[in-house]
Chain A
Amino acid sequence: MIEVIDVTKTYGKKDQTFTALKNITFTIPDGASVAIVGKSGSGKSTLMHAMSGLDRPQEGQVVIDGEDILKLNAKKVDEFRARKIGFIFQSFFVQANESVSDNVSLPLEIAGVARSERKQKIAAALSSVDLTEKVANKAKNLSGGQKQRLAVARAIVNEPQIIFADEPTGNLDSVTGQKVEDMLFSYNKEKGVTLVIVTHDADLAEKCDIQINVIDGEIASINKKGSN
């Protein structure tokens, strides 16, 4: 369960401050799929960063598994992200010069997974995104859709508890985007992984269990599937 309690994030100092998140509070049950929607600049990415332990908002709590991650020290937060979180970013962020398998290997190495275990985990992740035959290729030789699938493989390889995806289909054509979406949802259903997707694609948001609507750093509405 993810509990976001009264989170406020401000940028800048003194009279130049800008409040990107204002008193945000909501709860996400385990295994849910969540869409964070809103206009550009409304604070979606900022919220995602705060929820995932990448950023530290000035006020509030983010309680995951009963633990307020905002109170953890730097080392513990890093460890928390490495063990429990999978990230997918809008612009892929795959390492172009490295091989597909080295890209997927990174989270495993960071989490300190033994070399012997890695191989099998990498193979499983690549096969679930249908990239098995590309294992030895350089990432820069992949197509855009393949790169984003590689990013999905990297996000799921260490079997995270929560996957955060910031506009995972924003850079893809609708057919390829559809494919990546399907992968994420099926992973969410099969493994019971909590999925948090930042998007401004209404169709994608529709498919999620919960839609959180952000306007100017505040929550405008929270819709649950079948209850609106």
Chain B
Amino acid sequence: MKLIDVVRRAGRSLRQAKVRTLLTSLAIGVGAFTITLSLAGGQGGRDYANAIVSANTDRREIAVSKPIQTNASNGVKEYDPSGSSAPAAQSFGDNLNEKDIEKLRTFNHVESVTPGYSPTVNYITTNGQKKYVVQSVSSYTDAVKLSFAAGDAKNLGDNGIILNEEYVKALGFGDAKSAIGKTVAIGATRQASLATGAPEDKEFSYVVKAVTSESGLAFRAQGSLLVSEPAVKTLYDFVSQGTPAYNQFFIASVMLTDQQYAKEAKAEIEKAGYTAQTAEDLLGVVNTFINVLLGVLLGFGALAVLTSVFGIVNTQYISVLERTQQIGLMKALGMRRRDVGRLFIFEAGWIGFIGGAIGSGLAILAGTIANPIISKQLDLNGIHLLIFDPFQVAGVIVMLVIIAILAGVFPSRKASKLDPIEALRTE
């Protein structure tokens, strides 16, 4: 018997028992639905994490800090009345100082090292406007992929500033475009004036070069005012010079000449006693989390599939018993054992295919409907969290067909072993 005829007969038998076929398929469909959605979520989650990481960091960039000193490693110390054992000002971990920065610059493949300046400033204002609180001022780096509502960061210079849209509104510029070229002032306070030892106020003025638009991805720079590295250093020097925290950096950004050295450089930096984190590390942490979540969801899907396996075995087994006479006839007419077995195997395979197709189809439908809703709820600016990879969906269906076929092996063996004479005797 030709294979195609066996497949066709299998399909026809299923059609003759439509309701039963559909119900059996639905069980496997639940598994297909769960698995397809989980995979789409995993894919979407990984893509999203990847997008966030690459929007906020450069793969050439390594974040370096001093390891955090835990009490466990220090142990409990005896009190020393001379005061030498008193806790330092920054009791958790050491900060990076000038020497560390210089040392980092000497490592292989290092292009530049930028200490994490984060000067505390008081307000931002412009002519004839009120003063507004500033969350933070940081240095602009092209490692962060900003999207601009107006202008760009190309000619930032030493007196340029990048605002975000909220400040544009607050400062009364109307829209982003009209803010470009305007002058703003940032007010800062020096805690201990070198001359008098008393606090000293000063305003620094900048020209608006660009306005960032809100992005679902670039968190690192959002809410922060961005100026050039020398400009932020000037601010930092003004605010911190003379305080104990001066030139003590919690973190420094090491930029490599090429991302291919990231692993190598990280190892070298860590060997020198620093903590180093690459963009890959960050992504790795996020992806591990996503994978664990994905694993749990896939587990539920697998459980549903396992349950449906018993459904298929049961349905097919009953089908064999019901069709004893038909099987007997086919064998009497010379159908080979192998072909009789295949007939039932293909029926099981069809059930798997129908279930897989229905489940995956519904999952894609649900995902397509849910994507914009999720995106809106989580404020992702149109980013889709469920991504259906056609190969993955096809893979799920193929896998379920194979599982269904395996489930059909036992009933099909029963069918192929039937004695035609016995089978024809049953009326």
Contact = CB atoms under 8 A, between A and B. Distances in A.
- B and A form one assembly: yes
Interface of A: 49, 54-55, 74-75, 78-83, 85, 87, 89, 91, 93, 95, 97-98, 102, 106-107, 109-112
Given A55-B421, A109-B9, A91 B427 contact: yes
A82 B16 contact: no
B12 A98 contact: yes
Interface in B181-219: none
Contact of B335 (A83, A85, A102, A110): A110
Interface string B1-37: 1100100010010001000000000000000000000
Going nearest first, the 3 A-B pairs with the smallest beta carbon separation are: A82-B334, A81-B334, A109-B5
Contact of A87 (B1, B333, B335, B337): B333
A93 B12 CA distance: 18
A126 B414 CA distance: 34
B156 interface: no
A151 to B, nearest CB: 10
Interface of B: 1-2, 5, 9, 12, 16, 325-326, 328-337, 339, 420-421, 424, 427
28 contacts: A49-B421, A54-B420, A54-B421, A55-B421, A74-B336, A74-B337, A78-B331, A78-B335, A78-B336, A78-B337, A79-B334, A81-B332, A81-B333, A81-B334, A85-B334, A87-B333, A89-B329, A89-B424, A91-B427, A93-B328, A98-B12, A107-B333, A109-B2, A110-B330, A110-B334, A110-B335, A111-B334, A112-B2
Nearest to B4: A115
B54 to A, nearest CB: 56
Contacts of B335: 78, 82, 110
Contacts of B424: 89, 93
A200 to B, nearest CB: 18
A112 B1 contact: yes
A60 B332 CA distance: 21
A75 B336 contact: yes
A83 B2 contact: no
Nearest to A79: B334
Which of A87, A97, A109 has most chain B Cβ within 10 Å? A109
Contacts of A112: 1-2
Contact of B334 (A78, A89, A95): A78
A93 B329 contact: yes
Contact of A106 (B325, B333, B421): B333
B19 to A, nearest CB: 14
A107 B1 CA distance: 9
B330 A87 contact: no
B9 A83 contact: no
Given A55-B421, A106-B330, 20 more contacts: A54-B420, A78-B331, A80-B334, A81-B332, A82-B334, A82-B335, A85-B334, A87-B333, A89-B329, A91-B427, A93-B328, A93-B329, A98-B12, A107-B333, A107-B334, A109-B2, A109-B9, A110-B1, A110-B333, A110-B335
Contacts of B336: 74-75, 78
B334 A83 contact: yes
Nearest to A105: B5
A87 B334 CA distance: 11
Contacts of A75: 336
A97 B16 contact: yes
Contacts of B9: 109
Contacts of B331: 78
Contacts of A95: 326, 329
A49 B339 CA distance: 22
A93 B334 contact: no
A75 B113 CA distance: 79
A89 B333 CA distance: 11
A95 to B, nearest CB: 6
Contacts of A110: 1, 330, 333-335, 339
B6 to A, nearest CB: 8
Contacts of B421: 49, 54-55
Nearest to A52: B332
Contacts of B326: 95
Contacts of A74: 336-337
B114 to A, nearest CB: 75
B18 to A, nearest CB: 11
Residue from B12, B328, B332, B335 having most chain A Cβ neighbours under 10 A: B332
Contacts of B330: 106, 110
